[in-house]
Chain A
């Protein structure tokens, strides 16, 4: 099939429609507004519903409602809007409902700016809202991968009855790249016998709820959730390896940063340095398995992020002190430049050789 040139934000919208998503609730915010814009036009074409809510708080709770009724539903925003949604996301996780939430991260904290960043990593993978819950978190690095991951996002959400977050940034949202959309196929979401769709004259009572007023029962609920999260952690780690086999220095980066780091690896290889890249595709569950597997074989790790050092904590947890873990980051909406990262790599690589 022929390739088309598509913006990342539009690709998210098209990918969602192709994955069978028929409900979108959201509120505009740069740098993701092309996504609601696209779906405002696209959803009616496929018999779906697009609704601009009065606020992000409302959007998250509309998602809660639609998910409870068994719909494939999505919302999207950027940093500040995602912060407003956290109460709803916690309720959705507590009530074990499937949905997809998109965060096209911008510079923060606070109002920050609209330039690309990865500074919502902690918020995405460590909670964000209140309570003991987890959100499956996918981090694409290209417009094509966005298309491919949208189907997985909805499938994972349904499989585990859990919110799934697509974590990207302003660059991925704004850039156009060639994509192959593939054949459009009819997607039948799985049966949802738990969905609250009305008793219909004497059917079983179905209650969607995150209230467990008796502590003993709430603990049981938490244990059940923890068991589910353990299964997800074991089964759903995803990553890409680039020249890892003989790498003595391994760069770990996700999303847009990883794209830049690939060029750094190429240049380092051209200059005879054994440098590789590990790109987490799921940032929760974090691909700790691969890090544990390679950590004894490498000299050191370098984590590159568009923030002041967040994912590095997950790398360190996986490395468990076996090797030094270094950091290079740009923040506040600034992009890392391949040459600067390369200089860092060179410094560390040579330092490693002397020891």
Chain B
């Protein structure tokens, strides 16, 4: 198996930490993983992205130039990275903030109103884990259990009170994906 996952959005949307969650979870499953952030001359409020590679073979380049999965948390990210996704790849669009459709017809696209769902759970900040839940259900790249394990390491101990709400978000995302698969 091989997944090159590109996660992109505004700084503050949990883009980098979502990537780390995936990488930790993959590591716990003894897969080869690599995580790399964009580290250009970024500015506050600007875009942030990271690439996560999870594979059962050693990883050559950690740079995800041709993603099998794109998670677009905001519109500039979708517009910038959509063309790079491999044919028959997967694009997860945060439709709470992105009100356009993808131009690609050769990939699978799922629109997830992640911020709206997160707000309905009582914490808008878990939008990233709504989308992550969708990803887990649709690709099975790592198990939800591994992600929950990883949460304990990515979140500092003083933030462990946030684990239940993040777990809820992941479950909500998976449920959405199951509905999508059924439809």
A interface residues, Cβ below 8 angstroms from B = 3, 5, 30-31, 114-115, 170-171, 174-178, 256, 259-264, 266, 335, 337-338
Contacts and interface: CB of A to CB of B under 8 A. Distances in A.
A176 B34 contact: yes
Nearest to A173: B39
B36 A176 contact: yes
A335 B23 contact: no
Given A5-B23, A114-B40, A176-B23, A263 B35 contact: no
A175 B62 contact: yes
Given A5-B24, A175-B34, A259 B60 contact: yes
B39 A114 contact: yes
B27 A5 contact: yes
Contact of B35 (A5, A30, A114, A256): A5
Given A263-B60, A335-B65, A174 B41 contact: no
Contacts of B110: none
A67 to B, nearest CB: 31
B39 A30 contact: yes
Contacts of B63: 171, 335
Contacts of B27: 3, 5, 178
Interface in B1-50: 20, 23-24, 27, 33-37, 39-41
B23 A174 contact: no
Contacts of A256: 61
B58 interface: yes
Contacts of A335: 61, 63, 65
A174 B61 contact: no
Contacts of B58: 262
B55 to A, nearest CB: 10
Give the interface centre of A114, A178, A266 by most chain B CB atoms within 10 Å: A178
A177 B65 contact: no
Contact of A338 (B23, B24, B41, B60): B60
Q: On chain B, which size bracket covers the interface?
A: 20 to 34
Which of B34, B57, B59, B61: most chain A Cβ within 10 A? B61
A120 to B, nearest CB: 18
A176 to B, nearest CB: 4
A192 B90 CA distance: 60
A176 B24 CA distance: 10
Contacts of B39: 30-31, 114, 170, 174
B22 to A, nearest CB: 11
5 contacts: A5-B27, A5-B153, A175-B62, A259-B61, A338-B60
Interface in B63-99: 63, 65
B31 to A, nearest CB: 9
Given A114-B39, A174-B39, 17 more contacts: A5-B20, A5-B24, A5-B35, A5-B153, A30-B39, A31-B39, A115-B40, A170-B39, A171-B36, A171-B61, A175-B34, A175-B35, A176-B20, A256-B61, A262-B60, A263-B61, A337-B61
A192 B68 CA distance: 55
Contacts of B60: 259-264, 338
Nearest to A176: B35
A175 B36 contact: yes
Given A5-B27, A175-B35, A114 B61 contact: no
Contacts of B65: 335, 337
A107 to B, nearest CB: 12
A177 B32 CA distance: 8
B102 to A, nearest CB: 24
A275 to B, nearest CB: 14
A3 B153 CA distance: 12
A260 B59 CA distance: 8
Given A256-B61, A335-B65, A338-B60, A174 B36 contact: yes
Nearest to A339: B66
A48 to B, nearest CB: 24
B62 A171 contact: yes
B157 to A, nearest CB: 16
Nearest to B40: A114
Contacts of B36: 171, 174-176
Contacts of B20: 5, 176
A164 B62 CA distance: 27
Contacts of B62: 171, 175, 177
Nearest to A259: B60
A317 B37 CA distance: 38
The 6 residue pairs across chains A and B that have the minimum distance between CB atoms: A263-B60, A176-B35, A175-B36, A175-B62, A178-B27, A260-B61
